[in-house]
Structure 1
Amino acid sequence: MKLFKKIATVFLVIIVLFLLGGYLYFQKKFTPPENYLKVLGIAENIPTKWISSSENAHSALLLPIKIKGIDRTFYMQFDSGSPVTVFYKKSLESIAEKFQNQLKIDTKNNTISTAFRIGKMDVVSNDFGVLNYGEKISFDNSNAVDIIGTIGTDLLEKRIAILDFKNNQCSFIEKTKEDDFAEFEFKKRKILIPSIIEKENLKLLYDSGTSGYELITTKEIWQQYRNKNSKIKTEKGNSWGNILTVYSASAKKKIQFEKSILNLSEVTYIEGTSELQKFLMKRSGMQGMVGNKLFLNHKLILDCQNEKFKLE
């Protein structure tokens, strides 16, 4: 009997250590790194640009930026699903080749020390991440839209974002009068906005990286919300080089964000995401993601530091 108790105790300890180890692993893996951005000044009424495809008119939201010492406008995608601001290696290499001594990539650590400007706002870091991604710059084409990186929610920790989709412009400011603002969660630099669909309370991730979609959810909820017998649109998506299959169908629902009620005309689900991503989605309590398309003709104000938002 004593031997059995000892064996049971050992197994219990092993299970506890395994669970604790798993918890610490996920905490470390999915906790964003320290925010190394230094932000000076503000940016007001910056014109935004949409990337369009044959299937989607709002595939990505771009912001114009300038790199210190280089007289050319580049673009970075605004991606509220990314907790960090990063640059694309292939794009930077072609810039460095033309403008020598302006950019120097730390290839060992995949980082770069540089600064970029949006309007009158400077964003500086000695440790911008560099991803093996992107394309060479079309220097011979003055009208080219050259995308050199992604702006993440680390910037939103430093500034209040005003995303004016109605007028295709945005601002990043330090203070605003917060009348009639509602609360949201900002966990691990993820923006989780409360909403209501068909009297059901939902927690939705605002991921502007899924820009051209109104609501992305599970296949089960997709079946529930979509119009029956509606045409299904199939697309191929790209998530940092990982090919996904995207299914969208028309819907006719109302989605409520605090006092604002929007029309939900399309619902989407994605195949190709990893089991780990699905697990993390469930663990966060998140029931889906909303992109920029849902907020067209509206203004979204996000104060991530105080976890307050307003939709106009």
Structure 2
Amino acid sequence: MKTFKKITLILVAIVALTMVGGHFYFDRKFTPPDNYLSVYHEAENVPIQWNVTDKNPYSAMFLQVNLKGIEQPFFMQIDFGSPVTLFYAKSLASVQKMYPKLVMPDIMQNQVALQFSIGKMEVSSGSFQLINYGEKLDFSKPDAINIIGTIGTDLLEKRITTLDFKHNSCSFTENLPTTGFVDFEFKKRRIILPARLQNKNLQLLYDSGSSNYELITSQEDWKNYRNKGGRIKTEKGNSWGNPLKVITAPASQTIQIGQTDMALTEVTYVEGTSAMQNFLMRSSGMEGMIGNKLLLNHKLILDCKKEKFSIE
């Protein structure tokens, strides 16, 4: 599953930092490329389209986008676990077949020159990354959710971003009042939010591409946070071929993120990672990961240039 792959990637990065010369390895391997986006104007109150599954009505977030010169609407996932905005080669192959003069991916270089709009905001680059992902698109249905790519955190460097989960909308603006904002870390375009739980200060990775779990943490902290005797749910996961076990239990905690208190109703940990990886995860200073599920009744505002945020 995507969430577990990201956790493993983080663990690998932490291991690299502890090796001789690990700092330089980390910089080469995990530092994102330069921000190649050109962004003009703003987008306000753009509706969020949720991907609904049998198990989760909020499994992924999408925004409608329009490619320059094409009336057909498309969608891109809001995935702030990705440090770059990118497109899916398999999906763009369908678009290219329909509009060969407007979409011309460079398969050899794994990049494409495009301009797309979100509301009134225009985003363009001569070198969007392409990945071997996606599927054949359905142009026969006007209401089809044709997904062509991922919106990453490079866009957050260009605009202040508001995810309004109360009203299922998203905005990208140039200026906002900063009253009530607090500091967060934006390391290598990763969003690390300060939190407090059981009188303990935490640093939590926020990944908008994940909605299945409220808080993923270590087994030791999972034991402290969960309700004793509560019903435990176990699921199977897979990370690059390695089997994982995902254990979730009910909780009755209050977690403070920034200056906002929120109800933490469940907590999760993952089995299958090594004891050394778990130790390195804790010693790195990052104590877990949150997705959208914890924020569904709130509004999150991120000013990544100034490294300030608020939750309402």
- Aligned: 1:79 with 2:91: no
Match of 1:216 in 2: 216
The structural deviation recorded for 1:67 is 0.8
Secondary structure at 2:101's aligned position in 1? coil
Match of 1:231 in 2: 231
TM-score (structure 2 length as normaliser) = 0.87
Give the CA RMSD over aligned residues: 2.4
Match of 1:4 in 2: none
Residue identity opposite 2:25 in structure 1? Y
Q: 1: distance between equivalents of 2:276 and 2:129?
A: 23
Residue identity opposite 1:86 in structure 2? L
Match of 2:31 in 1: 31
CA contact (8 A) 1:113 1:126 kept: yes
Question: Structure 1 108/273 Cα, relative in aligned 2: closer, same or farther at 3 Å?
Answer: farther
The structural deviation recorded for 1:235 is 4.0
The structural deviation recorded for 1:23 is 2.2
CA contact (8 A) 1:111 1:128 kept: yes
The structural deviation recorded for 1:73 is 1.5
Question: Structure 1 26/282 Cα, relative in aligned 2: closer, same or farther at 3 Å?
Answer: farther
Question: Structure 1 93/279 Cα, relative in aligned 2: closer, same or farther at 3 Å?
Answer: farther
Match of 2:157 in 1: 157
Question: What is the aligned-residue identity percentage?
Answer: 55
Match of 1:10 in 2: none
Moved more, 219-228 or 291-300: 219-228
CA contact (8 A) 2:259 2:310 kept: no
The structural deviation recorded for 1:227 is 1.8
Secondary structure at 1:186's aligned position in 2? strand
The structural deviation recorded for 1:277 is 7.8
Match of 2:10 in 1: none
Q: 2: distance between equivalents of 1:118 and 1:243?
A: 38
Secondary structure at 2:157's aligned position in 1? coil
Q: 2: distance between equivalents of 1:165 and 1:129?
A: 29
The structural deviation recorded for 1:74 is 1.1
Q: 1: distance between equivalents of 2:241 and 2:136?
A: 16
> In the TM superposition, what whole-angstrom CA distance separates every residue of 1:150-184 from its partner, at most 9, and x where no partner exists?
11100000000011000000100000110111111
Moved more, 52-61 or 110-119: 52-61
The structural deviation recorded for 1:204 is 0.5
> In the TM superposition, what whole-angstrom CA distance separates every residue of 1:252-294 from its partner, at most 9, and x where no partner exists?
1100123211000111223466999868744642101111111
Match of 1:6 in 2: none
Question: Structure 1 113/239 Cα, relative in aligned 2: closer, same or farther at 3 Å?
Answer: farther
* Runs of 5+ unmatched residues, structure 1: 1-17
Match of 1:290 in 2: 290
- Aligned: 1:270 with 2:241: no
Match of 1:168 in 2: 168
The structural deviation recorded for 1:229 is 2.9
Secondary structure at 1:208's aligned position in 2? coil
- Aligned: 1:190 with 2:195: no
Q: 1: distance between equivalents of 2:188 and 2:279?
A: 16
Moved more, 286-295 or 227-236: 227-236
Q: 1: distance between equivalents of 2:168 and 2:307?
A: 24
Residue identity opposite 1:140 in structure 2? S
The structural deviation recorded for 1:220 is 2.5
The structural deviation recorded for 1:127 is 1.2
Q: 2: distance between equivalents of 1:79 and 1:137?
A: 20
Match of 2:199 in 1: 199
Q: 2: distance between equivalents of 1:84 and 1:240?
A: 21
CA contact (8 A) 1:60 1:212 kept: no
TM-score (structure 1 length as normaliser) = 0.87
Q: 2: distance between equivalents of 1:35 and 1:104?
A: 21
The structural deviation recorded for 1:246 is 3.4
Q: 1: distance between equivalents of 2:171 and 2:52?
A: 22
Max Rg structure? 1
Match of 2:4 in 1: none
Match of 2:15 in 1: none
Length, aligned pairs only? 295
Secondary structure at 2:224's aligned position in 1? helix
The structural deviation recorded for 1:21 is 3.2
